[in-house]
Amino acid sequence: MTDAPAPATSGQPIHTDVAIIGAGPIGLFAVFELGLLDLKCHLIDILDRPGGQCTELYPEKPIYDIPGLPIVTGQELVNRLMEQIKPFDPQFHFGEMATSLEKLADGRWKLVTDAGTEIIAPVVVIAAGAGSFQPKRPPVPGIEAFENAGDGIGVHYAVRKMETFRGKNILIAGGGDSALDWVINLAPLAKTLTLVHHRDGFRAAQHSVNQMRELEKEGKVKFHVASVKAIHGEPGKLTGVTLAGHDKSEWHHETDAFLPFFGLTIKLGPIAEFGINLHENLIPVDTARFESQTPGIFAIGDINTYAGKLKLILSGFHEAALMAQAAFHIARPGEKLRFQYTTSSSNLQKKLGVS
Amino acid sequence: MKIFAIDRQGKEYTLEGRDGWSVMEILRDGGLDIAAECGGACACATCHVYVNDGWFDKLPKPSDAEIDMLDMALAVEPNSRLSCQIICSDETDGIKVTVAPE
């Protein structure tokens, strides 16, 4: 539960060899393959940590089909990849979404994020999986009109500054850790705080549930087994919602703010606007270079498509290796690529810091 | 074994279940729009369905992990299940499900 990262304020574009969109397992391994060829990388990810789906969806679940690792959890795999690429000093821009991609007059690419970070590089690698993780939006008709209504009012999927909710009537929906954490943290400063959830039970940590029950006893939190069926007010000015119980009873509930916490889901996001050819939300690539139909823009991992494609982590690793070979010739035109093995090349071993 | 499914637009499908496969896999392969982001690991709640016409009570009870994961689904009703956790068998022949809103 952290506040959003501060936007980049330097205003200076970053120059590097490769900009990678997505810091999941494939984006991370791409750093390794590019690093062996002396190409430096900056990575952008909308999440606040590396790992993508591996750490967001299944950090504790074992994976059994990584070659050489008979069993490894999503989090362990990501930890090992981070260790493996450390010698190449990748630069991460977490909590940022790549929002635009533009070709410069000199042929390089300028990638801009929603935090204002600008990365200029000859090569862009899209390793974005199924897209970017975004908060799940409850299926309440017209809810969009109440998003971005302002501090402490309307619909919010995250709490950036608690203070903006002081003295407000707050409605929270959900039963996970985020929902209960914010019930506990906002109850002391809210005018009223109401929690709705579809059952009288919670997946959140037991100590959070206990705290919530305590606040309910003290009358500082109201809890209903219910869900939000309709939302009322003028666009930008929320006045209340219709709540419904499982017995089909419905009632009006006045509120200034509505905070749904149902975790994240994956949407393709701004990549669709980059001008790259897409086929059913996937990027067609050739299987020699894993380059999109736009030269200089590569796509590896679950985001790409080609004859015989399998959405497996191990396939993404292979794609990263071939991509790096092709990317080298774009980033270092005219230079000779020396193909070497890490087992035998003292040059590579020096880069890896092992000799 | 049959699965009768309704998608978010109300279109009806009659699908052939496969013994031991999850209902999520049958829906996905049958062309219904179901995200199933985690691929069937009970880790994302994006294969949420409503089980209709009394079929809910005929199915084996959901695991604690599934009940917990349903807390991350939208528009949960008393007949909500994660379709990756319903396994096709002779006992599920004729099951009726509706894909939940996303």
Question: Is the torsion defined by CA of B63, B65, B71, B76 positive or negative?
Answer: negative
User: Looking at chain A from residue 39 to 98, which residues have their Cβ under 8 Å from any Cβ of chain B?
Assistant: 53, 57-58, 61
Domain containing residue B19: CATH number? 3.10.20.30
The pTM (predicted TM-score) of the whole model is 0.85
Per-residue pLDDT of chain A (355 residues; tens, 9 = 90+): 444 444 445 679 999 999 999 999 999 999 999 999 999 999 999 999 999 999 998 898 899 999 999 999 999 999 999 999 999 999 999 999 999 999 999 999 999 999 999 999 999 999 999 999 999 999 999 999 999 888 999 999 999 899 999 999 999 999 999 999 999 999 999 999 999 999 999 999 999 999 999 999 999 999 999 999 999 999 889 999 999 998 889 999 999 999 999 999 999 999 999 999 999 899 999 999 999 999 999 999 999 999 999 999 999 999 999 999 999 999 999 999 999 999 999 999 999 999 8
Q: Closest partner residue to B37 among A61, A176, A266, by Cβ?
A: A266
Q: Are residues A244 and A207 in the same domain?
A: yes
How many domains is chain B built from?
1
Q: Closest partner residue to B37 among A57, A137, A176, by Cβ?
A: A57
Pairing of strands A98-103, A91-94: unpaired
In a domain, A5, yes or no: no
Cβ contacts of B44 on chain A, cutoff 8 Å: 57, 263, 265
What number of CA atoms fall less than 13 Å from residue A214's CA on the CB side?
Answer: 9
Check if the beta carbon of residue B47 is closer than 8 Å to that of residue B99: no
- Provide the domain limits for residue A64: 14-133+265-351
Given A262, A277, A296, the domain boundary residue is: A262
Nearest C-alpha in B relative to A61: B41
The single-letter DSSP state of residue A147 is B
Give every CB contact of residue A287 below 8 A, 6+ residues apart in sequence: A306, A307, A322
**Category of A135 on φ-ψ map: left (φ > 0), alpha (ψ -120 to 50) or beta:** beta
Q: Are residues A20 and A124 in the same domain?
A: yes
Alpha-carbon distance of A227 to A198, in angstroms, equals: 6
- Provide the domain limits for residue B79: 2-99
Domain containing residue A189: CATH number? 3.50.50.60
The DSSP line for A233-282 is EETTEEEEEEEE-TTS-EEEEE-SEEEE---EEEE-GGGGGS----BTTB
Cβ contacts of B101 on chain A, cutoff 8 Å: 139
Q: How far is A172 from chain B (nearest CA, A)?
A: 13
ipTM of predicted assembly, 2 dp: 0.89
Alpha-carbon distance of A48 to A13, in angstroms, equals: 21
